[in-house]
Amino acid sequence: VATIAEVAREARVGVATVSRVLNGSPAVRDETRRRVVETIARLGYAPNAAARALSTGRTRAVGVVAPFSRPSVMERLRGVSRVLSRAGYQVVLYDADERFPALPSLDGLLSISLCPPEAELERFAAADVPVVLVDHPHERLAAVHTDDAAGGRLATEHLLALGHERIAFLGHAGGARRRAGYEAALDAAGVRQDPALVHCVPHGREAAAEATRELLEAPDPPTAVFAASDTQAVAVLESAAGLGARVPEDLSVVGYGDIELARYAGLTTVAQPLEESGERGAELLLAALDGDPAPGRQLGIELVVRATTGPPAGSPRHHRSAGRERPRHIRPEGTRVRS
Amino acid sequence: VATIAEVAREARVGVATVSRVLNGSPAVRDETRRRVVETIARLGYAPNAAARALSTGRTRAVGVVAPFSRPSVMERLRGVSRVLSRAGYQVVLYDADERFPALPSLDGLLSISLCPPEAELERFAAADVPVVLVDHPHERLAAVHTDDAAGGRLATEHLLALGHERIAFLGHAGGARRRAGYEAALDAAGVRQDPALVHCVPHGREAAAEATRELLEAPDPPTAVFAASDTQAVAVLESAAGLGARVPEDLSVVGYGDIELARYAGLTTVAQPLEESGERGAELLLAALDGDPAPGRQLGIELVVRATTGPPAGSPRHHRSAGRERPRHIRPEGTRVRS
DNA sequence: CTGAAAGCGCTTACAG
DNA sequence: CTGAAAGCGCTTACAG
């Protein structure tokens, strides 16, 4: 592998000049630049990243921590990767379940769907390494997130509008704000809240299936379920099918997130801009890296109506439609989206 | 941030000694080592990765290229990340859709579900950077892969055993070997192959839905579909539901891959060890990095029978089961799995 | 067992 | 506009 010294020798210039050409300095005579560029190409020279990092103190690498087990993470990651790699940064990946990134080799950190422990944040702050959060609000740090309460309201209002009154909530730890939106919508519609219809269970197929069974086999079962995540919603779907309940005739189901799974399953859900959230997060980090920190940002959400919601069976609006309809997109009216 | 020089000064030793302690050299007196270790902890010192890389010529970073859009990639990535990060390597991510990794900052490359262009492979070979493939066979390179033809046979034999004879194949470019297995199974069972039942369509929901419609609306429709990917299989499921066909009563569906989506959708499918493939690939790369290259490896597959397959409607074996059964796992008899 | 010193390949004042 | 030289923070023969 060629070094800058060899390029300099071949091009009959000093290494400083090669370095200037490499870094786009305007202080190089056109003819000199041409000669250097030609030599670089001929030798197939590429600068050594470690040497550059040691010299400049910047690695041009940013860390991305995320829980790999979450399906939405991959889509957010795509947005992150696109923006960062176009800006010439390397993306160093850390699974949230593994040990935390060593500090000194990173220019910045992007944390997806989780917040690093306070002790880590202090280490990053001490080293002056900017941290940006995606899909997690934060008081102090720049973060891109959505309004979970508005999303919960949106989902519930859709079910109420279809004529449902017995609407269950199936959530996980962390779905508290979505549940708050659910309760707010019921309140606003004057529908009585029934604690028996609220199930807070951990993520995962089994727990959701169990809760579904309990709900459907209760004396006064719900006609609709709002699940605080798409994976839980699909588990409800599968579980309902196993119990002989038709969707949406016997049970309407709304999810949250609009991950790929939702599109394939024809699930009605609250859509978050996943890839875009990654892009915006990466842009926030790039800005911080360039020295002008931005304050963070809230992205819009919308309800995507697909095939898993309809009027309850007893309703006059009820009818069996032939074939599936195209998805409808409904944006919340009351949501303020800052840009 | 502290440097090795400060640690040396504080501990009243030379920098070489600190370096020896850092690198676990046995040639350090116990008492000296203790003093250095204590000082390192007190100063919160961590070695500068760039300086180390420049000095040793090894970055302790490996690149991972993958098509982010493929759902199976995330699961493979988890295995890769776990093994590499435990071995002290950084994982640098490259989306296959973006530009290719710059060479000099990587000790090795892992390519998931694709093979880098020959020109790139030559650059890596020239720089003596080992390359390992996951989910892609290769003549020359170390690779971990599965037997796609055996998988196609397994899926088709399952449908044949249930009594199906009109079995459609729905595949994408790259599913050729799975199709070969499908054809081999039909041949072996003496079932006539019908070209009208074979649809080769690109990845994606729309194309699969379109093909499903054509199949189901044909004069002599199939009673079962083998789709060469889980995402296509789920699109078939959704499309069949929209057309009023019940699964598995009117149509049995088998997928391929056993991605998370399959588990949630209750899909019968050919399971590949996704996370394990990533782990094995990472181990192959670590071995190559340590100078003893391994020859690559084939992993086993199995059929996971869930809720989307059953006997055809006319069959004497047909009955409506109440509720879903637990998944059954069937391993191929004829498959040789090298270890 | 230990330390002084060279060297890894860049960048960047500094002096021309 | 250009080059010689110092310096970034490590590792590793080399000499003791």
> What is the rounded CA–CA span in Å between residue A337 and residue A150?
11
> What is the rounded CA–CA span in Å between residue A288 and residue B315?
66
* Helix ranges, chain A (H): 4-11, 15-22, 30-43, 49-56, 71-86, 118-126, 148-162, 176-189, 205-216, 230-242, 260-265, 274-289
Write out chain A residues lying below 8 Å of B56, CB-based. none
Pairing of strands B328-330, B302-305: antiparallel
Query: B8 beta carbon < 7 A from strand D?
Result: no
User: What secondary structure does DSSP assign to B114-158, as a single string?
Assistant: S---HHHHHHHHHTT--EEEESS--SSSEEEEE-HHHHHHHHHHH
pLDDT at B338: 35
B183 class by beta-carbon count within 10 Å (0-12 exposed, 13-18 middle, 19+ buried) = middle
The residues near B137 (Cβ < 8 Å, ≥ 6 apart) are: B143, B145
Task: Give the pair of three-digit tokens for residue A104.
Answer: 């000194």
Write out chain B residues lying below 8 Å of A235, CB-based. 264
How would residue B323 be classed by pLDDT, with cut points 50, 70 and 90?
Answer: very low
pLDDT at B339: 31
Q: Are B264 and A235 in contact (CB under 8 A)?
A: yes
Please give residues of chain B from 37 to 96 whose alpha-adjacent beta carbon (CB) lies under 7 Å from any atom of strand D: 45, 47-48, 51-52, 54-56
3-state secondary structure of B168: strand
Q: List, for residues A226-274, the tens digit of each pLDDT value.
A: 999 998 998 898 888 888 888 899 999 999 999 988 887 889 999 999 9
Query: A49 beta carbon < 7 A from strand C?
Result: no
> What is the rounded CA–CA span in Å between residue A314 and residue B7?
77
pLDDT at A324: 55
What CA–CA distances, in Å, run from A234 to A69, A269, A270, A320, B237?
A: 16, 11, 14, 22, 14
Instruction: Kindly state the greatest CA–CA separation across chain A.
Output: 89
Task: Give the pair of three-digit tokens for residue B288.
Answer: 């190559």
Amino acid B50 CA to nucleotide D7 C1' distance, rounded Å:
15
Of B46, B54, B53, B55, nearest to B1 (Cα)?
A: B46
Determine, for residues A93 and B94 on separate chains, whether the beta-carbon distance falls below 8 Å: no
Does a cis peptide bond (omega within 30 degrees of 0) precede residue A71? no
Q: Of the candidates A77, A102, A234, which has its C-beta nearest B68's C-beta? A: A77
Query: B125 beta carbon < 7 A from strand D?
Result: no
**Can you tell me the mean pLDDT for B295-308?**
93
Entry field: residues in chain A = 339
> What is the rounded CA–CA span in Å between residue A27 and residue A23?
11
| B317 pLDDT above the threshold of 70 | no
Sign of the Cα torsion B304, B309, B315, B320 reads positive
Write out chain A residues lying below 8 Å of B51, CB-based. 50, 54
> What is the rounded CA–CA span in Å between residue A70 and residue A274?
12
How would residue B104 be classed by pLDDT, with cut points 50, 70 and 90?
Answer: low
pLDDT at A318: 54
For chain A, list residues with pLDDT below 50. 320-323, 335-339
Q: Are B69 and B114 in contact (CB under 8 A)?
A: no
Does a cis peptide bond (omega within 30 degrees of 0) precede residue B248? yes
User: What secondary structure does DSSP assign to A179-199, as a single string?
Assistant: HHHHHHHHHHHTPPP-GGGEE
Q: Which residue has the higher pLDDT, B314 or B126?
A: B126
> What is the rounded CA–CA span in Å between residue B221 and residue B274?
34
Q: Are B114 and B67 in contact (CB under 8 A)?
A: yes
How would residue B319 be classed by pLDDT, with cut points 50, 70 and 90?
Answer: low
Chain D nucleotides with an atom closer than 7 Å to a protein C-beta: 1-5, 7-13
Please tell me which residue of chain A has the smallest CA distance to B124.
Answer: A1
**Can you tell me the mean pLDDT for B291-298?**
87
Please give residues of chain A from 26 to 55 whose alpha-adjacent beta carbon (CB) lies under 7 Å from any atom of strand D: 26-29, 31-33, 51, 54-55
Please tell me which residue of chain B has the smallest CA distance to A230.
Answer: B264
Q: Are A111 and A313 in contact (CB under 8 A)?
A: no
For helices B205-216 and B230-242, angle between their N-to-C axes, nearest 10 degrees: 50
Q: List, for residues A154-200, the tens digit of each pLDDT value.
A: 999 999 999 999 999 999 888 899 999 999 999 999 999 999 999 99
B62 class by beta-carbon count within 10 Å (0-12 exposed, 13-18 middle, 19+ buried) = buried
Query: B4 beta carbon < 7 A from strand D?
Result: yes
Give the mean pLDDT of chain B: 90
> What is the rounded CA–CA span in Å between residue A26 and residue A39?
19
Pairing of strands A297-299, A302-305: unpaired
Return the closest nucleotide (C1') to the Cα of A7. C9
> What is the rounded CA–CA span in Å between residue A104 and residue B50?
9
